Amino acid sequence: MPEFRLYNSLTGEVEPFAPADGSTVRLYTCGPTVYNPAHLGNFRTFLFEDLLRRVLRMRGWGVEQVMNLTDVDDKIIKRATERGITIRALTDPVVTTFHADREYLRIQAAEHYPRATEYIAEMIALVERLQANGVAYRADDGSVYFAIDKFEGYGRLSRLDTRKIRTGARVAQDDYAKENAQDFALWKSAKPEDEACAAAWDSPWGRGRPGWHLECSAMAMALLGETLDIHAGGVDLMFPHHEDEIAQSEAATGKPFARFWCHGEFLLTDGAKMAKRVGNVSTVADLREQGVSAAALRHFVFSTHYRKQLNLSAAALEASIEAVRRIGDFSDRLARETAGSPALSEAADTLLVEATTVLSDDLNAPRAVGALFEFISAANRALDSRGSDPAALGRAREAFRQVNGVLDIVPDRGTSGGELADWVEAQLEARTQARARRDFAAADAIRKSLEEKGIAIEDSPSGTRWKSVR
């Protein structure tokens, strides 16, 4: 298997990567702030991280992934205050929506989803360590700040010109722009609105709550140790969030916080130029309402490298919908065939070599998708020649299963979709019975349920046929 290489934002280079212990990758990925459902821009990042996770596992490594859920920050408190509810009452339904959206997009579950409010004790302990090390101080407003001029190397991740930093100036809000590189809040003194929505805790500095940046460092180190293998997130988090994570973590431990920093680029949109199919799609719910399958979004996202900006447009989604149809049709054919040929076996071998090589080269998903389509074309030609070798067909099914298992564009009915096929056939039988008794509402509901699972059906005089379209 080729060497695995990954772009490290910290060095600006594509570098060889392997887990520090040789077996398990300790991966931290910044998750959603749960005051609103995550938007498709967030999910582009989460899909990049899903690809990273799958490729790491393809390499034979274990993965211990932590994705935090930020359930206390300025935006959450503001929203809860406006509604007159606690932050927990606000965030619980959003967390439920996030997991439903994640499962719909077939993003593999992380091993841990810590909520910030569950790690307050660890956050307080981290601030105490920073105070003891002389890099944190309590200000007149009762909050505790990190003194960035006391941390050598601040700004190296984002290539910040530290000469422009106003020494001693402070920024208290959770969300600020690049030009405001100032001492940041580790612990915030409680305000009446914090108390009103249950967003304040006892601490050595009085009632208060953690700063946004502090949360990730405390949770990451509590669950993965003081040095991570990979810390990943969207490029928008590089500064200030990840820069501040490095400062407070390394100032506390004296150790590198993460060996590799990986960042996914932005998702852009055409805005008003979008066609009706896209409309104002911004969330997974919008996507589902417009009839765009999870398969189409996965294909769309993986057709552009994670470090390049991606433009969401009607034309691009339509192209992905058609591409998914082609992959689904091939998957169905692979499941139906009974034998192959030497040419089919050769195409399978080529797919495995090419896909493994490009995915090991900084997660080059676009080239992996291209290799998959080249395989489909070659395999269809080989199958048309009507070979007589069952082993060759088995080789093709396995190659398709492995590569599609990383990209996860369509269910592979030929080798691992037996349960799906059984479920679909049962649904079709129930639909036939509903139509026979003229219960068309029930029949339509079953069709909709099938469509949500990525199954297209077609009625004909000889019966109802179905195929996977995602």
pLDDT exceeding 90 applies to what percent of the chain? 75
Mean pLDDT of 207-222: 97
pLDDT exceeding 70 applies to what percent of the chain? 91
Judge if 377 and 345 occupy the same domain. yes
The residue out of 230, 249, 264 marking a domain boundary is 264
The full length of the chain comes to 470
pLDDT digits (tens, 9 = 90+) for 145-156: 999 999 999 999
| Residue 71 pLDDT > 70 | yes
On whether residue 218 sits in a domain, the answer given is yes
| Residue 414 pLDDT > 60 | no
The residue out of 385, 407, 429 marking a domain boundary is 407
Q: Indicate the pLDDT class of residue 62, thresholds 50, 70 and 90.
A: very high
Structural domain span for residue 115: 20-264
Q: Map tokens 């150790």 to a residue.
A: 255
Q: Indicate the pLDDT class of residue 275, thresholds 50, 70 and 90.
A: very low
Judge if 254 and 272 occupy the same domain. no
Judge if 424 and 392 occupy the same domain. no
Mean pLDDT of 176-182: 65
pLDDT of residue 177: 57
CATH code of the domain covering residue 396 = 1.10.730.10
| Residue 176 pLDDT > 70 | no
On whether residue 103 sits in a domain, the answer given is yes
Judge if 278 and 393 occupy the same domain. yes
Mean pLDDT of 159-184: 73
Q: Indicate the pLDDT class of residue 416, thresholds 50, 70 and 90.
A: very low
| Residue 181 pLDDT > 80 | no
Mean pLDDT of 114-137: 98
> 184 has which bridge partners?
146, 171
| Residue 274 pLDDT > 90 | no
Judge if 394 and 431 occupy the same domain. no
Cα dist. 275→41, 169, 266, 288 in Å?
19, 47, 21, 16
Q: 10 Å Cβ neighbour count for 131? A: 18
| Residue 175 pLDDT > 70 | no
Judge if 201 and 259 occupy the same domain. yes
Judge if 389 and 439 occupy the same domain. no
CB 210 within 8 A of CB 116: yes
pLDDT of residue 419: 55
Judge if 364 and 299 occupy the same domain. yes
Is 250 exposed, middle or buried (CB count within 10 Å of its CB: 0-12, 13-18, 19+)?
A: buried
On whether residue 412 sits in a domain, the answer given is no
Judge if 201 and 291 occupy the same domain. no
On whether residue 1 sits in a domain, the answer given is no
The residue out of 264, 296, 331 marking a domain boundary is 264
Judge if 319 and 439 occupy the same domain. no
Q: Indicate the pLDDT class of residue 218, thresholds 50, 70 and 90.
A: very high
On whether residue 14 sits in a domain, the answer given is no
Identify the CA nearest to 185 among candidates 139, 117, 126.
139
CATH code of the domain covering residue 102 = 3.40.50.620
Higher pLDDT, 133 or 160: 133
Angle at which helices 365-384 and 294-302 cross, to 10°: 110
| Residue 436 pLDDT > 50 | yes
| Residue 295 pLDDT > 80 | yes
pLDDT of residue 296: 95
Structural domain count of the chain: 3
**CA 346 to the chain's CA centroid:** 34
Judge if 303 and 381 occupy the same domain. yes
Query: Token pair for residue 278?
Result: 């896209």
Listed ranges 158-172, 174-188, 376-390, 401-415; the one with the highest mean pLDDT: 376-390
pLDDT of residue 30: 97
Identify the CA nearest to 439 among candidates 428, 449, 452, 430.
430
CB 246 within 8 A of CB 271: no
| Residue 223 pLDDT > 50 | yes
Three-state secondary structure string covering the chain? CCCCEEEECCCCEEEECCCCCCCEEEEEECCCECCCCCEHHHHHHHHHHHHHHHHHHHCCCEEEEEECEECCCHHHHHHHHHHCCCHHHHHHHHHHHHHHHHHHCCCCCCCECCEHHHCHHHHHHHHHHHHHCCCEEECCCCCEEECHHHCCCCCCCCCCCHHHCCCCCEECCCCCCCCCCCEEEEEEECCHHHHHCCCCECCCCCCEEECHHHHHHHHHHHHHCCCEEEEEEEHHHHHHHHHHHHHHHHHHHCCCCEEEEEEECCEEECHHHCCCCCCCCCEHHHHHHCCCCHHHHHHHHHCCCCCCCEEECHHHHHHHHHHHHHHHHHHHHHHHCCCECHHHHHHHHHHHHHHHHHHCECCCHHHHHHHHHHHHHHHHHHHHCCCCEHHHHHHHHHHHHHHHHHHCCCCCCCCCCHHHHHHHHHHHHHHHHHHHCCCHHHHHHHHHHHHHCCEEEEEECCEEEEEECC
pLDDT of residue 277: 42
On whether residue 7 sits in a domain, the answer given is no
| Mean model confidence pLDDT for the chain | 91
On whether residue 116 sits in a domain, the answer given is yes
Mean pLDDT of 350-367: 98
Mean pLDDT of 364-372: 98
- pTM here is 0.86
Mean pLDDT of 213-236: 97
| Residue 470 pLDDT > 80 | no
Judge if 394 and 305 occupy the same domain. yes
| Residue 1 pLDDT > 90 | no
pLDDT of residue 58: 97
pLDDT digits (tens, 9 = 90+) for 98-124: 999 999 999 999 999 999 999 999 999
Lowest mean pLDDT among 7-11, 178-182, 237-241: 178-182
pLDDT digits (tens, 9 = 90+) for 446-461: 888 888 777 888 887 7
- Looking from the CA of 8 toward its CB, the CA atoms found within 13 Å total 16
